[in-house]
A and B are shown apart, each in its own frame.
Chain A
Amino acid sequence: MAAVQQTVDTVKTLDVDAYKYGFSTQIESDKAPRGLNEDIVRFISARKNEPDWLTQWRLDAFRRWLTMEEPRWARVDYPKIDYQDLYYYSAPKGTAGPRTLADVDPELLRVYAKLGIPLSEQEALAGVQERRVAVDAVFDSVSVVTTFKEELAKAGVIFCPISEAVQTHPELVKKYLGSVVPATDNYFATLNAAVFSDGSFVYIPPGVRCPMELSTYFRINEQNTGQFERTLIIADAGSYVSYLEGCTAPKRDENQLHAAVVELIAHDDAEIKYSTVQNWYPGDSEGKGGIYNFVTKRGDCRGIRSKISWTQVETGSAITWKYPSCILRGDFSRGEFYSIAISNGYQQVDSGTKMLHLGNDTSSRVISKGISAGHSQNTYRGQVFAHRKALRARNFTNCDSLLIGNQCGAHTVPYIEAKNSTAQFEHEATTSKISDDQLFYCMQRGLEAEEATALIVNGFVRDVLQQLPMEFAVEAQKLIAISLEGSVG
């Protein structure tokens, strides 16, 4: 209830200019020269002081990438990206090597405060114990600070920038990096393998329930900079972790490229809950600018009874190309995908999931809610697959689309592939609009049109909101209201 109220308040206090994270900050940065070649790949690797095997891994990926073609099957339309016109590495000056909060540029701390992300441990410690969230903040290409590291270390949890993990836990990185999303996986993932700059690394040891939520905030600040973070999360046998990811970027007229890779590995009886609130700059009301978001996220339920759950709230980006997936390899493993994708203005979203049932007795659940407004196009694309040898695979999929206005489009493209008679797949999808009757009913009770719309949309997405951790659910509701600004005539 409180959250709805906040949604309503937020709508009311909004300026015409809806994207409130669109400020940019003058911070001195250390950039690689513009363009992409083997020297740039080596430069990035050298900056991170990486071992030879990793440099070689990057170079192999780069060479492979040169032979690949950009995928064009998604329902998104954008001008050709000039990969030589981008910067592939940008770091705030003076942030090389591990660091503590005290070393962080105060200007940076102010940026994160403006974003509403608490990086100060003291403040958080003073708060309610249960609400603590450890944060890894990634600014352009590098991680600037990770909070609560020591306390996590006591529990045996490793939570640090992946560049640091390469130095401190090379055996883990070497073992798992690219084991879920191979360097050759797809055009954008391969590009990421070649030039990834930083991202988070999480390892939860056997039997440990991570004592707090882990969180990464990504921010693109530099102009003409691509962001290529890489996240690797390993939940060892019997462990549990909940991980949150948030993203913002300043408003810029030109498009910015974001090609991230996230790999999750869940061993026997382990559970990973991965939540995203994606709010990259979507471009202005004319469709100018905005982030191109080409992301490969995949979880590997490697162990018996392992579980991976993806929850995403997608409100930003000019282009979204994203299919968080689960490979259900372990017997009795479970995959979940909960998604809210909102598009307004000229945004184009092509997003969904893949549930690949390989082990026996695996189950998966997909709930997708797409909302299209303005001139946007919103596509759900999802695959559910049961291998010939996978006994008793079960899937339930529900994808609903809501249209607001008659200039937008909502599309559903499910691929359902059952190759085993014991598979039980169920899929249902609907497309509808907010009815005038519903709106009038709410307005007769005193709600204005935009409040009424926000209320009805929040009802529409409720099943998914419930999957988010509390803090994120509130933020997500606000974002939904902001994203739909101006969509009601």
Chain B
Amino acid sequence: MIALAPSKADEAFATLLPADASPSERASFAQFRQAGLPSRRVESWHYSDLRARLRTVPPLAAAPDDASLSVARGKLGASARLRIVTVDGFYAPDLSDDVSKIAGVAIASARETDFLGAAADPLLDLNAALSRGGFVLDIAAGARIDPVIEIVALTGAQTDRSRFGRNLIRLGAKARAQIVETRDEGFAGFGDSALFIELGEDAQLDHACRCRETAGVELQSFTATLAARAKLRSVALLAQTPFLRRQYFVSLAGEGAQLHLGGAAVLGRNDHADVTLVVRHDAPHGLSRETFKYVLADHANGVFQGKITVPPHAQKTDGKMMCRGLLLSDEAALSAKPELEIFADDVACGHGAAVTKLDAQNLFYLETRGIPTIEAEKILIDAFAADVFDALESEVLRDLLRVDLSEILGEETLV
């Protein structure tokens, strides 16, 4: 890592480190300080100017008080789903359903969550140093959890805060679950959240992330480790993101693991969404599919950086990555960097990227059938974006995302 001159934000973060920080938190912070807040000179941050966007750092969010809990409760509304609620990154049992009443499910608060397998990344270091009060969700080996579990991330009474959520989801061998993560943080403050997923052998997880109205500057790290034959399917829907960086670090650590990652970003205004992923095939016979789509209107800026890495021993790897962009305005931009880094010879890997606008012929066809232009455009955009949801096996999660997408397309004046 290139050493950078410290930015103002680096100094500001130093004041956030609590006096009672543990030695490991201090060590994480020291690591963050060494690398510093990434600037555009760091290759993987070339397209997202974090330093320019983060000139001041809001104060650290405290554990939610009554006022915050009551604000959050107000936003929650009723839901048939079992919910785990976090407020400002803190697990809030009072607002959450008791998921542990389901056989095979256990949840616990975790003050210091020094999870294994974290990638070397300054944002993860910063999160490790400053996070407090996340949760660990355990699904026991062999348990098959049919109800959808929803994780809801909310902000409390003070919106202009720095939040550092840090949660772990663990599935034991042969366990199965479907989890939806709903993030609604209202454009304010700074967020640097981390989600860790560990799948035991033959475990299967469907994960959907609905990410709307993110913080002013929002950083999300998704770290997953898959044991042999485990299957992870995860799709994110990103919209209304003033400045979002969502980064994935996934290791297919066991033989025959399968990964399906997908994402749809529907952006307008001055939205900026950067998806950066590193998928490591650390064992033979792994399969991975990564498909990300961008619908970009107004002055929106989409960034996709994907890297599939195959070390020499990971023979018979099958990896395919795809990035597609739909540009709806002359001021919108997409930058894509799909990389392959391959050291094993017996592999079949590929990637593709394409940038286009709406197909005029399709549009015309719909119009001749009496569909007004704007409607027709939305139909085509919806079709373009929605097919990434098919990566999920869970019908419920797919439907949730579909409904969200049409809602977003209904609200947004994209064209």
Q: Are B343 and A425 neighbours in the complex by a CB distance under 8 Å?
A: no
B residues less than 8 Å from A408 (CB atoms): 343, 345
Give Cα A417–Cα B336 distance, bound, in whole angstroms. Answer: 6
Known: A406-B312, A422-B357, A433-B347. A416 touches B342 (CB 8 A): no
Q: Are B340 and A410 neighbours in the complex by a CB distance under 8 Å?
A: yes
Give Cα A428–Cα B350 distance, bound, in whole angstroms. Answer: 7
The contact string, 1 if C-beta is below 8 Å from chain A, for chain B 325-355, is 1011111111111111111111111111111
Is A211's beta carbon under 8 Å from chain B?
no
B residues less than 8 Å from A421 (CB atoms): 327-330, 332, 357
Interface residues of A in 80-97 (CB under 8 A from B): none
Tell me the minimal C-beta distance from A290 to chain B in angstroms: 22
Q: Are B350 and A430 neighbours in the complex by a CB distance under 8 Å?
A: yes
Give Cα A406–Cα B355 distance, bound, in whole angstroms. Answer: 34
Q: Are A415 and B340 neighbours in the complex by a CB distance under 8 Å?
A: no
Q: Are A431 and B349 neighbours in the complex by a CB distance under 8 Å?
A: yes
12 A-B pairs whose Cβ atoms sit less than 8 Å apart in the complex: A403-B342, A405-B345, A411-B342, A415-B336, A416-B323, A417-B334, A417-B336, A418-B355, A420-B327, A421-B328, A429-B352, A431-B347
Q: Are B327 and A418 neighbours in the complex by a CB distance under 8 Å?
A: yes
Give Cα A421–Cα B355 distance, bound, in whole angstroms. Answer: 8
A residues less than 8 Å from B327 (CB atoms): 418, 420-423
Top 7 closest pairs, chain A to chain B, by CB = A421-B327, A403-B345, A430-B350, A419-B333, A427-B353, A416-B336, A418-B355
B residues less than 8 Å from A415 (CB atoms): 335-337
Is A414's beta carbon under 8 Å from chain B?
yes
Q: Are B343 and A409 neighbours in the complex by a CB distance under 8 Å?
A: yes
Interface residues of B in 195-228 (CB under 8 A from A): none
A residues less than 8 Å from B20 (CB atoms): none
B residues less than 8 Å from A401 (CB atoms): 340, 342
Q: Are B348 and A425 neighbours in the complex by a CB distance under 8 Å?
A: no
Q: Are B331 and A413 neighbours in the complex by a CB distance under 8 Å?
A: no
Known: A388-B331, A417-B333, A417-B335. A427 touches B345 (CB 8 A): no
Is A432's beta carbon under 8 Å from chain B?
yes
Is B356's beta carbon under 8 Å from chain A?
yes
Give Cα A291–Cα B337 distance, bound, in whole angstroms. Answer: 30
Q: Are A406 and B345 neighbours in the complex by a CB distance under 8 Å?
A: yes
Tell me the minimal C-beta distance from B291 to chain A in angstroms: 14
Known: A417-B335, A418-B334, A419-B333. A425 touches B353 (CB 8 A): yes
A residues less than 8 Å from B325 (CB atoms): 418
Known: A388-B331, A411-B340. A431 touches B346 (CB 8 A): no
Q: Are B335 and A412 neighbours in the complex by a CB distance under 8 Å?
A: no
**Interface SS of B by simple majority:** strand
Give Cα A407–Cα B345 distance, bound, in whole angstroms. Answer: 8
Q: Are B339 and A412 neighbours in the complex by a CB distance under 8 Å?
A: yes
Contact residue among A407, A409, A428 (Cβ-Cβ distance under 8 Å from B341): A409
Number of A-B contacts (CB under 8 A): 117
Tell me the minimal C-beta distance from A79 to chain B in angstroms: 21
Give Cα A422–Cα B356 distance, bound, in whole angstroms. Answer: 7
Is B146's beta carbon under 8 Å from chain A?
no
Give Cα A194–Cα B337 distance, bound, in whole angstroms. Answer: 35
Known: A416-B353, A432-B348. A410 touches B342 (CB 8 A): yes
Tell me the minimal C-beta distance from B188 to chain A in angstroms: 29
Q: Are B355 and A411 neighbours in the complex by a CB distance under 8 Å?
A: no
Q: Give chain B's interface residue range (CB within 8 Å of chain A).
A: 35 or more
Is A426's beta carbon under 8 Å from chain B?
yes
Is B43's beta carbon under 8 Å from chain A?
yes
Contact residue among A413, A423, A428, A429 (Cβ-Cβ distance under 8 Å from B355): A423
How many A residues touch B, CB cutoff 8 Å?
A: 34
Is A272's beta carbon under 8 Å from chain B?
no
B residues less than 8 Å from A407 (CB atoms): 312
Q: Are A412 and B351 neighbours in the complex by a CB distance under 8 Å?
A: yes
What is the chain B residue whose CB lies nearest that of A378?
B342
Give Cα A465–Cα B263 distance, bound, in whole angstroms. Answer: 39
Q: Are A431 and B340 neighbours in the complex by a CB distance under 8 Å?
A: yes
Is A424's beta carbon under 8 Å from chain B?
yes
The contact string, 1 if C-beta is below 8 Å from chain B, for chain A 266-308, is 0000000000000000000000000000000000000000000
Q: Are B344 and A406 neighbours in the complex by a CB distance under 8 Å?
A: yes
Q: Are A433 and B345 neighbours in the complex by a CB distance under 8 Å?
A: yes
What is the chain A residue whose CB lies nearest that of B301?
A419
Q: Are A414 and B353 neighbours in the complex by a CB distance under 8 Å?
A: yes
Is A53's beta carbon under 8 Å from chain B?
no
Known: A406-B312, A422-B357. A429 touches B342 (CB 8 A): no
Is A232's beta carbon under 8 Å from chain B?
no
Q: Are B354 and A431 neighbours in the complex by a CB distance under 8 Å?
A: no
Tell me the minimal C-beta distance from B56 to chain A in angstroms: 29
Is A468's beta carbon under 8 Å from chain B?
no
A residues less than 8 Å from B43 (CB atoms): 73
A residues less than 8 Å from B342 (CB atoms): 401, 403, 409-411, 431
Give Cα A403–Cα B337 distance, bound, in whole angstroms. Answer: 22
Give Cα A413–Cα B338 distance, bound, in whole angstroms. Answer: 7
What is the chain A residue whose CB lies nearest that of B343?
A409
Is A244's beta carbon under 8 Å from chain B?
no
Q: Are B354 and A429 neighbours in the complex by a CB distance under 8 Å?
A: no
The contact string, 1 if C-beta is below 8 Å from chain A, for chain B 18-42, is 0000000000000000000000000
The contact string, 1 if C-beta is below 8 Å from chain B, for chain A 370-403, is 0000000000000000001000000000000101
Give Cα A54–Cα B330 distance, bound, in whole angstroms. Answer: 43
Q: Which among A404, A417, A421 has the highest number of chain B CB atoms within 10 Å? A: A421
What is the chain B residue whose CB lies nearest that of A428?
B352
Q: Are A427 and B354 neighbours in the complex by a CB distance under 8 Å?
A: yes
Given A401-B342, A429-B350, 5 other A-B residues pairs in contact with their CB atoms under 8 A? A411-B340, A411-B342, A424-B354, A429-B351, A431-B349
Contact residue among A427, A431, A432 (Cβ-Cβ distance under 8 Å from B338): A427
Give Cα A296–Cα B355 distance, bound, in whole angstroms. Answer: 28
A residues less than 8 Å from B334 (CB atoms): 416-418
Give Cα A73–Cα B354 distance, bound, in whole angstroms. Answer: 25
What is the chain B residue whose CB lies nearest that of A416?
B336
Q: Are A420 and B330 neighbours in the complex by a CB distance under 8 Å?
A: yes
What is the chain A residue whose CB lies nearest that of B351?
A429
Tell me the minimal C-beta distance from B230 to chain A in angstroms: 24
What is the chain A residue whose CB lies nearest that of B310?
A431
Give Cα A112–Cα B323 distance, bound, in whole angstroms. Answer: 49
Q: Are B338 and A429 neighbours in the complex by a CB distance under 8 Å?
A: yes
Give Cα A433–Cα B342 distance, bound, in whole angstroms. Answer: 11
A residues less than 8 Å from B338 (CB atoms): 412, 414, 416, 427, 429
Known: A388-B330, A411-B342, A429-B338. A424 touches B349 (CB 8 A): no
What is the chain B residue whose CB lies nearest that of A72?
B2
Tell me the minimal C-beta distance from B271 to chain A in angstroms: 15
Q: Are B347 and A427 neighbours in the complex by a CB distance under 8 Å?
A: no
What is the chain B residue whose CB lies nearest that of A422?
B357
Give Cα A268–Cα B306 distance, bound, in whole angstroms. Answer: 39
Tell me the minimal C-beta distance from A422 to chain B in angstroms: 6
Tell me the minimal C-beta distance from B136 to chain A in angstroms: 37
A residues less than 8 Å from B355 (CB atoms): 416, 418, 423-425
Give Cα A388–Cα B334 distance, bound, in whole angstroms. Answer: 11
Give Cα A388–Cα B339 distance, bound, in whole angstroms. Answer: 24
A residues less than 8 Å from B346 (CB atoms): 406, 433
What is the chain B residue whose CB lies nearest that of A393?
B355
The contact string, 1 if C-beta is below 8 Å from chain B, for chain A 235-250, is 0000000000000000
Q: Which among A418, A423, A430, A432 has the highest number of chain B CB atoms within 10 Å? A: A418
What is the chain A residue whose CB lies nearest that of B332?
A421
B residues less than 8 Å from A424 (CB atoms): 354-357
Tell me the minimal C-beta distance from A358 to chain B in angstroms: 15
Tell me the minimal C-beta distance from B357 to chain A in angstroms: 5
Give Cα A426–Cα B352 distance, bound, in whole angstroms. Answer: 8
